[in-house]
Amino acid sequence: MNRRALVIGIDYEGSNKLNGCINDAIRVNDMLKNRGFIVLLLTENNTYSNILRGIRWLLCNCPVDQFETCLHNTDNISSDMLYYHFSGHGSVIRDQNRSYNSIITEDLKYITNDDIYNRLICLLPQNTKLRGCVDCCNSRSNFDLKWDLVKKNKTYTLQKTGNGRNSYCDAIIISGSSNYGNSYDTIIDGINTGVLTHYYLEYVNKHLEISIYALLNYLNNKLKSYHQTPGIALGKQMSIMTDFWL
């Protein structure tokens, strides 16, 4: 199986400083390599342009050291599974028509959920799987997907999102917060880390097979003491017992 991953961690500078995002990216990189992924790890110079180049790299067969110059061909996407991880700041921006959930780049620009959908999601064919984890504030709709896995009356079910879109590919994305919620960093065992990423890695490193239901239930139980609401968004309807990795 051909597996490629883009992993981004930004600690920023000055008043925007975070602690632990680069640590988290390095740990996610290690987890993915153990699962057979080719990983492009971005922990410095994470500008708007470089992150978009990284997304483009996901769609091609270029070596990691050529990500800045690769050109993707959407007619020849050969990876069976793609993975995207972001640890950093997130925000909501608005225009006259709607709100956009966005990640914030190191040069303090916005990459919106529209950008992610148009540059990645809608280009992926039906036989490609996309998995990811977005550990930032305001992240639930970061990929603009149609379905949310939600808890109602002590059980989990799929629910349509307001403005989300379906995907041809098999997309499952974990988020650290609601669309207008916070995603926190902390210190656990003496290490600066994002709360979501820490407990996400804690779970996936112990289990080879992971249903999306079991994963979200575990994250909800762990993150409730931080007053943080994780989520899982999906590009199409599927069973809550679907394996996150398969």
Per-residue pLDDT of the chain (246 residues; tens, 9 = 90+): 689 999 999 999 888 899 999 999 999 999 999 999 999 999 999 999 999 999 999 988 788 988 888 765 555 565 689 999 999 999 988 876 777 889 999 999 999 999 999 999 989 888 899 999 999 998 888 888 999 998 887 788 898 887 788 888 899 999 999 888 899 999 999 999 999 999 999 999 999 899 999 999 999 999 999 999 999 999 999 999 999 986
Q: H or E stretch including 151?
A: strand 147-152
- Burial pattern 182-206, b for ≥16 Cβ within 10 A else e, equals bbbbeeeeeebbbbbbbbbbebbee
103 - beta bridge partners? 90, 111
Q: Which residue has the tokens 């990640």?
A: 103
Alpha-carbon gap, residue 181 to 179, rounded angstroms: 6
Q: Contact at 8 Å (CB) between 196 and 174?
A: yes
Give the pTM. 0.93
